[in-house]
Amino acid sequence: MLTRMRQIALHPGLVPPNYLEELRTAEANDCNAAKPIAITPAEKVRLQDMLAQAIEDCEECPICLDPLNNARITSCAHIFCLAW
């Protein structure tokens, strides 16, 4: 989804014209979409360590391509800047 978001922002011609409508339809039909993902305390510590290491290593955000600023990490370990 991050790749599609970047394509929409930078190269809208690469994205199918009905892509946003497909997303809305899929989200409306997905009964699991509203359920939060539960992670174990050990997994939380592991993710926090990964995020801290990425910030320390001055990694770039894959979305804005700038150094991480107000960084967040997902349960699947994707790191990105929190939008303002």
Instruction: Give the H or E element holding residue 81.
Output: strand 79-81
Residue 7 lies in a domain: no
Instruction: Give the H or E element holding residue 76.
Output: none
Residue 77 lies in a domain: yes
Q: Per the structure block, which two tokens stand in for 54?
A: 């990425």
Residue 31 lies in a domain: no
DSSP SS3 for 11: coil
Count of domains observed in the chain? 1
Question: Which residues form the domain of 75?
Answer: 41-84
Could you read off the pLDDT of 25-82 as tens digits, one per residue? 877 776 555 567 788 999 999 999 999 999 999 999 988 889 999 999 988 899 999 8
Rounded Cα distance between 15 and 24, Å, is 15
Largest interatomic CA distance in the chain: 43
CB of 68 within 8 A of CB of 56? no
Tell me what pLDDT residue 29 has: 72
